[in-house]
Structure 1
Amino acid sequence: MRRSVLGLLAAASLLAAPAGAAEDDEADPSILDGVPAFAGLAAGRDALAEQGFRISGFYFSDPRGNLSGGLDKGWTYSGLFKIGVDVDAKTVFGIEGGRLHADMLQIHGRDVSEEHVGNLLSANDIGARPTTRLFELYWDQEVSDRLSVRLGQMAADEEFMTSAYGENFLDATFGWAGPPSENLPQGGPAYPLAALGAQATWKATENFTLVGAVYNGRAAPGRYDDDPERGNRHGLNFRLQDAPMVILEGRYRYNEGEDAAGLPGEIKFGGYGHFGRFGHLKRGTDGLVLGSPGSNDDPRRRRGNVNLFAIVDQQIWRLPGGEDEQGIGVFARVIAGSSDRNPISTYVDGGVVARGLVPGRPNDVIGVAYGWADFSPALADADRAAHAAAGLDLPARSSEAVLEATYRAQIVPGLTVQPTFQYVWRPSGGFAEAESEDEAPKRTRNAKVFGVATIVRF
């Protein structure tokens, strides 16, 4: 499934203020400012910014191990280096209200979920095929005080369906969740593959914003649906010929400002749809259940696919005498789609996050979150038919769930260390599909995953 670590990094510094979560990395602390030895680099960065070129980035280091269950025990190491530049169009080109953004990724290492756990709600935010790639490249333009547009290569997980609290966890599903990752072709336009598209943001009122986007529906040719990263290895495959994907999200923020009657929160709601053709999960073109004796195993085709979602972020307690973002917050999210064409037909997650509760550690974060993905009943029927035909004693896929507990400690501004523990119930619904026709599906047991991520921002 697609990962979404970039959103986590963008939200980290404003954890407990969901209504004010940053759109990009501008508010995040940099190690160049926190360590005197880097003063020269900070001065050079600031000089470039005065000329209209703002450079930022991070390195994410993630050793992760499966302690038990899953496919087998084992450890992996993943690393992600990102560097980006924002060009102020007024300073450089004389265009008022414009911004050119570009960033690249250098991905290396191995994915613990793919190699040792076998789960869909991936334990590793940054797991992806090792490569160096262009990620996003777009022009952002303010049309008026309330309307802005964006054109270029973009990633939907940078903008849509996110929770400011949920983004602080390291399991990928708390960012770009299980349903879009599994239900959309090639996982949708999300890390590590962005797609060409157009986006509009309209601030209807001071509290309500509407954001919509349309993307090319695939980041790689269709023949690479099982491995799109190989089909667009360096992020330079600028496709426009595929059926489009659209997404619309409304955002309502409340209790903002010093005179607010209560604690701040945000509600998001909307949906996404793909105009391509999707295979029926249960019935073939011959009318038989897929996998059953005599079935041609050619799924019926269905035009289009729509999923709906809703998200709530709410601060429930603020630390007396502390900063606004210090305290405890909760989040919840639900995503649902038709069971005949969506492998994950219902998804729910939620959690509790606290910041600044440890004495002397005002920026440390503690969190516990739970995510549950329900596999489509149609998919389960096809599983039962296929297992019976093959004489296999395996259950049908029912659901997968994950519980994550994490603690993020700020060592110095711009450097954090974050241990995480995840417990995974029924990885891939209880069994992993065979890698070839000569192999049988493999049972998977509940898994325990541990790791310690280190993030350096500059």
Structure 2
Amino acid sequence: MRTLIIGTALAACAAGAAQAREAEAAKALDLSFGYKADLAATVDGGAARRGRVLDNLTVGADLDLEKAFGWQGARAHALLLSNSGGAPGDDSGSIQGVDNIEVSRHRVRLYEAWVEQDLARGKGSVRAGLYDLNSEFYANDSAGLLIGPAFGIGSELAATGPNGPSIFPSTSLAVRLAWTPSERVYVQAAALNAHAGVLGDPGGVDFKMEDGALLITEAGWTGAGKVAVGAWRYTRKQDDIRDLGPTGDPAKRKAQGAYVLLERGLTGGDAEDAVRRTTAFARLGVSDGDTTPFQGGWQAGIKVDRVLASRPDSAFSIGVNQAYLTGKHRANAADEGQDLGDTESAIEITYADTVGPLTLQPDLQYVIRPGGDRAMKNAVVAILRVGVEF
């Protein structure tokens, strides 16, 4: 009888321990879902007055590897991405684009899949896998509400690489190191496959790295705001957008650039629930000017959180951006009969709030000299974004 009682107790303990492990494993896994649908229309000027519908679906999973398997200081992340719809950027005539979920190929992609390991008791970390460069580099939180692509990452970097750098909608294999020598100072660097491609893209993930790597580093200070500087360079020379070599193929040039980020809280302090908490940002980027249509550009703006005291999710933002076109890009356009100016500029105003489970965001953009084309009328673009996430 005693043996039976002990055996029953041990079995109960084992079952309880198994249930506890299962519960802990369940806590270790965090699933997410997000969906955005945009109705975008060029209502005046631009290349064509037309309405477009486009959408963006994300399904994500974050796993705490320490809770799940006892792997201390490690975590894993995966994100599936699906996009479809029209191209409002073409209608506006903008060379930078007007909607940050617009894609050229409608596909389901494994957008991100990486593992991260803490180093030196959390002072540093290393991350490896399919990685979105713009998730940590060349990014301002206070610019995140704006829909114009130029506010996500500078166009002079976004337009580089054989298939674009490792940003939306296709990432590449990468290794990222980050170090925080003090609470407010950080340094980070990454090496990324220069050829972006993921599962779902033609050819899938590129493991050969025949196009070399994109190297990028950023250092900054965070506190009441953010001050950061960054620099990037491709390890292999890229095609010149105009000049030809002795064989008649595009000449090879060094592709490189640098940027500065500034962000500052104006009102509301650090309290996230402060009414009309206002943050300002400014950014400036430059490039080599030989391998991209953009010599550089700048963006600036403000974001106001909790615009209405009674609406905790209400937010307002206004931003201005200007891209400087390279002489070589303008010369190529002149060969085709286009007269381009030096710049394309845009002003964007947007407001977002929740209504039940939905987030509604009306957005208005005014694109000045779309594509730099002197003959094209300035474009007015109206967007309504409807989103849900959990």
TM-score bracket relative to the smaller structure:
0.7 to 0.9
Q: Do structure 1's residue 137 and structure 2's residue 81 form an aligned pair?
A: no
Structure 1 length normalisation: TM-score? 0.74
5 Å-filtered alignment, 1:245-256, equals 245-254=214-223
Which residue number corresponds to residue 28 of structure 1?
Answer: none
Which residue number corresponds to residue 9 of structure 2?
Answer: none
1:55 corresponds to which of 26, 31, 36: 31
Q: CA deviation at 1:105?
A: 0.9
Aligned in 2, Cα 1:48/1:186: closer, same or farther, shift over 3 Å? farther
Q: Do structure 1's residue 154 and structure 2's residue 131 form an aligned pair?
A: yes
2:363 corresponds to which of 420, 424, 444: 420
Which residue number corresponds to residue 202 of structure 2?
Answer: 231
2:347 corresponds to which of 403, 406, 415: 403
Aligned in 2, Cα 1:325/1:333: closer, same or farther, shift over 3 Å? farther
Higher relative contact order (CA 8 A, sep 6+): 1
* Runs of 5+ consecutive residues of structure 1 not aligned to the other structure: 1-45, 222-227, 255-263, 287-295, 432-442
Cα distance between partner residues in 2 of 1:146 and 1:319: 26
SS of 1:346's partner is strand
1:451 corresponds to which of 380, 383, 388: 383
* Runs of 5+ consecutive residues of structure 2 not aligned to the other structure: 1-21
- Which runs of 4 or more aligned residues in structure 1 lie more than 4 Å from their structure 2 counterparts after TM superposition? 46-49, 235-239, 319-322
Which residue number corresponds to residue 330 of structure 2?
Answer: 380
SS of 2:256's partner is strand
Contact 2:24–2:68 (8 Å) recurs in 1: no
1:90 corresponds to which of 66, 72, 77: 66
Q: CA deviation at 1:405?
A: 0.4
Which residue number corresponds to residue 92 of structure 2?
Answer: 117
RMSD, aligned α-carbons? 2.6
Contact 1:332–1:350 (8 Å) recurs in 2: yes
SS of 2:183's partner is coil
Aligned in 2, Cα 1:110/1:301: closer, same or farther, shift over 3 Å? same
Contact 2:276–2:308 (8 Å) recurs in 1: no
Cα distance between partner residues in 2 of 1:327 and 1:382: 46
SS of 1:176's partner is coil
Structure 2 length normalisation: TM-score? 0.87
Code of the residue aligned with 1:117 in structure 2: it is: S
Structure with higher Rg: it is: 2
Q: How many residues align?
A: 367
Q: Do structure 1's residue 204 and structure 2's residue 148 form an aligned pair?
A: no
Cα distance between partner residues in 2 of 1:312 and 1:94: 39
1:152-187 deviation per Cα after TM superposition (whole angstroms, max 9, x unaligned) = 111101121011111110111111221112233322
Cα distance between partner residues in 2 of 1:198 and 1:209: 17
Q: CA deviation at 1:368?
A: 0.8
Aligned in 2, Cα 1:244/1:77: closer, same or farther, shift over 3 Å? same
5 Å-filtered alignment, 1:181-196, equals 181-196=158-173
Contact 2:197–2:205 (8 Å) recurs in 1: no
1:71 corresponds to which of 47, 50, 62: 47
Which residue number corresponds to residue 16 of structure 2?
Answer: none
Contact 1:148–1:200 (8 Å) recurs in 2: yes
Contact 2:24–2:67 (8 Å) recurs in 1: no
